[in-house]
Amino acid sequence: MKNLRRKALATASALVLGAGLAAVAGSPATGGATGAESTFLVLAPQGGKADLAVARVAAADGTVVANYHQIGVMVVRSANPDFVTDVAGAGVESVAPTAGLGTVLDEGDTVEMTAAQIAEATGDPTAEPLYGQQWDLPMIDLPRAHAVTTGSPDVVVGVLDSGISSSHPDLATQIAKDKSTSCVGGVVDTAEAAWNPTTSDHGTHVAGTIAAALNGVGVAGVAPGVKVAAVKVVDNELYIYPEAAVCGFIWAAEHGMQLTNNSYYIDPWQLNCRNDARQRPVWQAVQRAIRYAQNKGVLTVAAAGNSNFDLAHKFVDPDSPNNGIPEVRGVNGACVVLPAEAPGVLTVSAVGPTGEKSHYSSYGQGVIDVAAPGGDSRIRTRGATSTTADAILSTTFNTVTRTNGWGWKQGTSMASPHVAGVAALALSAHPGMTPGQLASFLARTAGSKRCPAGRYDPIPLIPTGADFTATCQGGTRNGFYGAGMVNAYDAVK
């Protein structure tokens, strides 16, 4: 278990972060106020009463749309341009607007299987017809694990993501509908339509890796006996706002989930962290929510990111400024990457079909806890060709045609749910572990993987000009693989 790590994820989201400034929808102002409404997080002192803060919000022309009293955090909407100064005072520890602090989901490309490919694979009705293409499952020793258990329905994994298709033939029986919700906007909406996918099937793919049914259809999940709950935190513009994440963590904590999978990051790193006075309350709120969930028995599993970035040396951002001179940023504790960086979170790197680090996977000694298959469509052939089948096959939902299917994606987003699935199996076989015990258990039962010697260059034959080299540091616990590849059998035997 790591403790109070600091790291950042340089992500592809940098290019589109600016769009987040406009992504908090304005709605018509009411009560005579002028201007568009904005969303604010208002923090009462931790452990204190929120009554005073509630009164101050009302007096400042704000409306509390969600009150997470457990952690002293309120989601407030207001059209008052002076809301931040007006609400300040006794009983309010801090306040900040969240506009511009959404991070875009690193969704990845989906390559869908064709109907012909699916039909061709359905020759054996006694087995999952597409299982033969799930190279990732033998890699984590899953067949032997399933001989022991496929998981208990008492274990519920919260999928904080873009929703789960409840009409998918491989998922319809796997969803704990009574524990599913949308948290978009920071407000709970349990209508089934609200937590189904709209503009992204990322969460549907993640959910299939965790728990796709053993039903003679499509694919197998890592833990098909457990349940997944959709906790939709990604809005229709693919942004994850802090208020949605706060809502999601509290929801998971209050609905008996033992695990959440977080294949996204709330990442201020690409923003100006030096002027963080405005951001600090936002990250404090998210960290309170994560801590609360952990204290309620929820293990947070998170993806490391897809930037081939050394998270152990994040204090130097190689991309900023662009004059070739790395700048040491004035990052402090309010500027952390969440959820991956919060204490107690299990952080996952990705490997491809050879078992080597995926070319995109971020890494870092003391940061990565375990590794799992995330796919690498460019590694098996050492760069000669890009091979879709070297990505991860799971459940998909075409958001244009509104149809369910199966297809490939790759990323640490795909690695993290393998770990969540193994964790769910471990809890099924060995109930009662605390989040900390479970995290340690997964690390202890992982198959240690040594660092490659020298400078790692996964795709030397590709003349793309892109640099995917990396240097792995550490011994049996190292920056590429953490404690090693999760092993489902060793986690249940």
Site of interaction with Ca ion (CB under 5 A): 128, 170, 212-213, 215, 217-218
State the Cα–Cα distance between residues 77 and 56, nearest whole angstrom.
Answer: 13
Q: How many residues does the chain have?
A: 493
Smallest separation (angstroms) from Ca ion to the CB of 212: 5
Is the CB of 213 or the CB of 338 nearer to Ca ion?
213
Task: Compute the chain's Rg from CA coordinates.
Answer: 22
Contact between 312 and 473 (Cβ < 8 Å): yes
| Residue among 292, 238, 237, 213 at smallest CA distance from 260 | 292
Smallest separation (angstroms) from Ca ion to the CB of 405: 13
Smallest separation (angstroms) from Ca ion to the CB of 146: 13
Is the CB of 228 or the CB of 370 nearer to Ca ion?
228
State the Cα–Cα distance between residues 359 and 462, nearest whole angstrom.
Answer: 12
Smallest separation (angstroms) from Ca ion to the CB of 221: 8
Smallest separation (angstroms) from Ca ion to the CB of 171: 9
Is the CB of 185 or the CB of 221 nearer to Ca ion?
221
User: Running DSSP on this structure, what letter comes out for residue 179?
Assistant: G
State the Cα–Cα distance between residues 102 and 357, nearest whole angstrom.
Answer: 29
Is the CB of 12 or the CB of 217 nearer to Ca ion?
217
- 412-429 vs 435-445: helix axis angle to the nearest 10? 110
CA atoms within 13 A on the CB side of 340: 34
Is the CB of 130 or the CB of 340 nearer to Ca ion?
130
| Residue among 447, 479, 477, 472 at smallest CA distance from 457 | 472
Smallest separation (angstroms) from Ca ion to the CB of 404: 12
Is the CB of 16 or the CB of 172 nearer to Ca ion?
172
- CB atoms < 10 A from the CB of 328, how many? 8
CA atoms 246, 251, 257, 260: torsion sign? negative
Smallest separation (angstroms) from Ca ion to the CB of 219: 5
User: Running DSSP on this structure, what letter comes out for residue 447?
Assistant: B
Is the CB of 288 or the CB of 409 nearer to Ca ion?
409
Structure tokens, 28: 């018509």
